[in-house]
Chains A and B, each alone.
Chain A
Amino acid sequence: MTTEASRGAEAPPELVQLLTPEGERVEHPDYDIDLTPEDIRSLYRDLVLVRRIDLEAVALQRQGELGIWASLLGQEAAQIGSGRALTDVDMAFPTYREHGVAWCRDVDPVKLLGLFRGVNHGGWDPKEHNFHLYTIVIGSQTLHAVGYAMGIQRDDASAATIAYFGDGATSQGDVNESFIWASVFNAPIVFFCQNNQWAISEPLEKQSRIPLYRRASGFGFPGIRVDGNDVFACLAVTRKALEAARTGQGPTLIEAFTYRMGAHTTTDDPTRYRVASELEAWKLKDPIERVKAYLFKNEQADQAFFDAVDGEAAQLGADLRRRCLAMPDPEPLAIFDHVYSESHALMDQERAQFAAYLEGFAK
C-alpha cells in the first residue's frame, strides 16, 4: 500500500465554507450565520486593520526597531472570525502569532510590539482582556487552557476557553495530552488549530498522515475543518463550538485550513523551501479580498467606505510606529521585580549589590 493510498483510504476532507474566494455566499446546513451588512463591514474593517498592524510590525523589524516579528499575513480571517466569536467572559490562550485575536480582545497593539521590541514581556493584564500572554514554547498553552477550562467548569460559569495552536504543535506531547484531558473531563474548551501548512520549513505531511481535524475522533470529541480564509465560516463554526462547550457538550477541535503567506518569523526566508506558485495559488483565496468582493457585489459598501477603512489603517500604522519608537527602556533594577510575591534575603542582597554597582557608574 502506498502512502497516497493509505491517506486516501478515508473519505476526503470536508471543508465548511460560507463565502467562496470569489465572494459568493454559500449555504451550509449545520453552520449558517445571520450577518447584517453592518456586521460584515465591521468584520472587513478588523481584517484590514490587523493586516496593517502586521505590515507595520514587519517594517519596524526590518528597520531594526523590533527584535523579531511573527507575521499573521494570510491568517486574518481565522483569527478575526474566531476572535469575534468569543464573549467577554470566554478566555483565550494564544500562541505568539495571534495578533488578530489580541485585536478582538482589545489588547493595545503597541503592547504586542513591546514584547517583540524586548522592553516588556507582553505587559497586558490577561485577566482584564481574558487573553493570556503569548506562549512562545510550542503547545504549552493548550494545557493551561484545559486547566483553566476545568476551573471555570467548577464555577458552573457560562463561559468557555479557546486554545490557539498551529499544525506543527499537533506533534507536541502537550497538545495530545490536552486533548486527552479535555475529553476525559468534558472540559469547556475549543481547540482552534490554524493549519497554515508550514511549521517553519516543514510541510504538513511531516506532522500528520491524516487531516488534522480527524484526529479528534480518536480522542472522543468532534473535529471540523473550516475554510480558514473565510471569516464568515470561522465565526460560525467557532461560535457553535463555544456554545457547545458552554452547555456541557465538551471540547471541539477546529482545524482552520489557511496559509502562512509570509515567513515563519522575520528570521526566516520561505523562498528557500517552498515554491512561488504555491503562494500565488493561495493569494487567489485571500481572506480580505473575498469579503470586499461580497460587499461590492451586494452593494453593502461603497468606495467611500473602503477608502475610509484604508485611511483608518494608515493612521493606525503611523500611530503604532510613533508609539513603538517612544517606548522607554525598562529600569535596570526592575529585573528584581515580581520574581517572588515577597522579597527574601538573597533577592534583597542582590538588588542592593546591583544598585550600588549601578550607582558607581553615576559617579
Chain B
Amino acid sequence: MAQLTYREAVARGIAQEMNRDERVVLIGEDIAGAGGVFKTTVGLLEQFGPRRVLDTPISEQAILGAAMGAAMTGLRPIAEIMFSDFFAVCWDIVVNQMAKTRYMTNGQVSIPLVVKSGNGGGLRFGAQHSQSIENWAMAVPGLKVVTPSCPEDVVGLMAAAVRSDDPVLFFEHKGLYASRGEVPDGPIEDVLGKAKIRRSGEHATIAALGMMVPRAVEAAERLAAQGISCEVIDVRSLIPLDAQTILDSVGRTGRLFTVEENPRALGWGAEIASIVGDEGFWDLDGPIVRITTPHVPLPSADSLEDLVIPSVDRIVAEVEKAMQA
C-alpha cells in the first residue's frame, strides 16, 4: 500500500497498462520530456522511450485524429488533451469520427483509445481553462465517460479505459491532482459503469462526481453532527451509468441530492434526476435537489470561483434546507 497523489496515480495507471500491453502508446503536447504540464506523465518517457511516448505538434485535432488512425492499426493509444476546454477545438474528431466509427462500419472497425484530459475548476484558470465538460461527452452516443475522484480509482479506471474497445474520455480533475490517497500495490483493474458508495447513511442520498465527491463526503460528516445521515455515492462513470446503485440508495433513504460542478442546464444530475423521477418516484419523500454551478462561465477571481462551484458550505446548507422543509 502506498500513499500517492492523484497526479502520480495517473502516471502509475498509464505505466501499468504500458507494461502489460505493448500496443499502448501515449501521445500529446508536453507529455514526454516535460512529464505533462500537470506532471501526470512524469517518468513515462524514461521508462518506455520516445517510440511509445510522443510529444506532438500543438494540434489538438491532429492528436485525436492521429490517435484514431493509430487505433485502426491495432495500437491502443492514450492521447492527452491538456485542458478539457480544448476539446472544443477538436470536437469533430471526438463526436463525428471516433464516437461513430464502430457504428458506421457495422462493428468492423474498433477505436480502442483513451483521451485523458485535465478537467474542472478550482485553480483560478478562468473561463476557458476550468470547465467541467463531461456533460458534453455524455450527450454523444458511442463515447464512454469516466471521472475518478481518488488515486486508487485513477489507476483502476485508467486500466479499464485502456482495455475497453470503445473510445473513453477520461476526465482527471485538475483540483484533485495534489490530493493524496492509499493505492494498493500491484496491478489494479476496475470496471467502467460501477458507482461506489463512499459513505453509508439513512436519511438522504448525495450523488457526486470528481472533485465534488470529497466535498460531499465532508459535508456529510458535518450533517451527521446535526443528525442528518447522508449516503454519498461516487458516480465515477457517466457512460456506462450505474443508475441502479443510486436507485437502491434512494430506496433506502427516500431523498436525492446531486452535487455537480458543471453549469446547471443539462448537467449529468438532470439525467439522474430524470431516471429517479421515473423509476424511483414512489421511493421519494421529497423533491430531488440539484446543487450545481449556476449557468455562468467560470470566473477567474478567487472569491467568485469559490462562490459558484458547489462548496462544502453550500452542500450543507442546501441539504439542511431541503431536509427541514
Residue numbers of A with Cβ under 8 A of B are 120-123, 125-127, 133, 135, 137, 140, 142-152, 154-155, 173-174, 177-178, 180-181, 184, 337-341, 344-346
B165 touches A341 (CB 8 A): yes
Q: Which A residue's beta carbon lies closest to that of B104?
A: A121
Q: When A154-B75, A345-B240 are in contact, do A148 and B69 touch as well, CB less than 8 Å?
A: yes
B70 touches A177 (CB 8 A): no
B142 touches A339 (CB 8 A): yes
Q: Is B97 an interface residue (CB 8 A)?
A: yes
Q: Is B56 an interface residue (CB 8 A)?
A: yes
Q: Is B123 an interface residue (CB 8 A)?
A: no
Q: When A140-B97, A338-B103 are in contact, do A150 and B108 touch as well, CB less than 8 Å?
A: no
Q: Is B291 an interface residue (CB 8 A)?
A: no
Please measure, in the bound complex, the distance between the C-alpha atom of A43 and the C-alpha atom of B242, giving whole angstroms.
58
Please measure, in the bound complex, the distance between the C-alpha atom of A146 and the C-alpha atom of B193, giving whole angstroms.
33
A344 touches B103 (CB 8 A): no
A341 touches B102 (CB 8 A): yes
Residues on B with C-beta less than 8 A from A173 are 59, 61
Q: Which A residue's beta carbon lies closest to that of B73?
A: A151
Q: Is B186 an interface residue (CB 8 A)?
A: no
B108 touches A143 (CB 8 A): no
Residues on A with C-beta less than 8 A from B239 are 344, 346
Closest Cβ of chain B to A310, distance in Å, is 35
A177 touches B62 (CB 8 A): yes
Which residue, A120, A149, A346, has most C-beta atoms of chain B within 10 A? Answer: A346
Please measure, in the bound complex, the distance between the C-alpha atom of A174 and the C-alpha atom of B103, giving whole angstroms.
23
Residue from A144, A155, A184, A337 within 8 A of B72 (CB atoms): A144
Residues on B with C-beta less than 8 A from A123 are 106
A126 touches B105 (CB 8 A): yes
Q: Is B166 an interface residue (CB 8 A)?
A: yes
Residue from A133, A137, A151, A152 within 8 A of B105 (CB atoms): A133
B166 touches A340 (CB 8 A): yes
Residues on A with C-beta less than 8 A from B109 are 126-127
Residues on B with C-beta less than 8 A from A146 are 62, 65-66, 69
B62 touches A339 (CB 8 A): no
Residue from A177, A344, A346 within 8 A of B61 (CB atoms): A177
Interface residues of B in 107-166 (CB under 8 A from A): 107-110, 141-142, 144, 164-166
Residue from A121, A125, A144, A341 within 8 A of B66 (CB atoms): A144
Interface residues of B in 62-89 (CB under 8 A from A): 62, 64-75
Q: Which 3 pairs show the lowest CB-CB distances between chains A and B?
A: A147-B69, A143-B65, A151-B73
Q: Which A residue's beta carbon lies closest to that of B72?
A: A148
B103 touches A121 (CB 8 A): yes
Q: When A180-B59, A181-B66, A339-B141 are in contact, do A148 and B103 touch as well, CB less than 8 Å?
A: no
A121-B106, A339-B103 known, 9 other contacts, Cβ within 8 Å: A123-B106, A126-B108, A140-B92, A146-B62, A151-B75, A154-B51, A340-B102, A340-B142, A341-B102
Residues on B with C-beta less than 8 A from A338 are 102-103, 105-107
Q: Is B270 an interface residue (CB 8 A)?
A: no
B105 touches A143 (CB 8 A): no
Residue numbers of B with Cβ under 8 A of A are 51, 56-57, 59, 61-62, 64-75, 92-93, 96-97, 101-110, 141-142, 144, 164-166, 193, 239-244
Please measure, in the bound complex, the distance between the C-alpha atom of A152 and the C-alpha atom of B73, giving whole angstroms.
7
A140 touches B96 (CB 8 A): yes
21 interchain pairs (CB within 8 A)?
Answer: A121-B105, A122-B104, A125-B108, A137-B92, A140-B65, A143-B69, A144-B66, A144-B68, A144-B72, A144-B97, A145-B69, A147-B69, A147-B70, A174-B65, A338-B103, A339-B142, A340-B166, A340-B240, A344-B241, A345-B240, A346-B243
Closest Cβ of chain A to B266, distance in Å, is 16
Closest Cβ of chain A to B54, distance in Å, is 8
A178 touches B243 (CB 8 A): no
Residues on A with C-beta less than 8 A from B75 are 151, 154
B62 touches A181 (CB 8 A): yes
Closest Cβ of chain B to A170, distance in Å, is 15
Residues on A with C-beta less than 8 A from B72 are 126, 144, 147-148, 151
Which residue, A120, A137, A144, A345, has most C-beta atoms of chain B within 10 A? Answer: A144
Please measure, in the bound complex, the distance between the C-alpha atom of A120 and the C-alpha atom of B105, giving whole angstroms.
9
Residues on B with C-beta less than 8 A from A140 are 65, 92-93, 96-97
Please measure, in the bound complex, the distance between the C-alpha atom of A344 and the C-alpha atom of B166, giving whole angstroms.
13
Closest Cβ of chain B to A354, distance in Å, is 14
Residues on B with C-beta less than 8 A from A152 are 73
A181 touches B59 (CB 8 A): yes
Residue from B66, B102, B243 within 8 A of A143 (CB atoms): B66
Residues on B with C-beta less than 8 A from A337 are 103, 106-107
Residues on A with C-beta less than 8 A from B73 are 147-148, 151-152, 154-155
B108 touches A127 (CB 8 A): yes
B104 touches A178 (CB 8 A): no
Please measure, in the bound complex, the distance between the C-alpha atom of A152 and the C-alpha atom of B75, giving whole angstroms.
10
Closest Cβ of chain A to B220, distance in Å, is 26
Residues on B with C-beta less than 8 A from A345 are 240-244
Residues on A with C-beta less than 8 A from B62 are 143, 146, 174, 177-178, 180-181
Closest Cβ of chain B to A67, distance in Å, is 16
Residues on B with C-beta less than 8 A from A341 are 102, 110, 164-166
A178 touches B142 (CB 8 A): no
Residues on A with C-beta less than 8 A from B165 are 341
Q: Which A residue's beta carbon lies closest to that of B112?
A: A341
Please measure, in the bound complex, the distance between the C-alpha atom of A154 and the C-alpha atom of B56, giving whole angstroms.
16
Residues on A with C-beta less than 8 A from B96 are 137, 140
Closest Cβ of chain B to A58, distance in Å, is 24
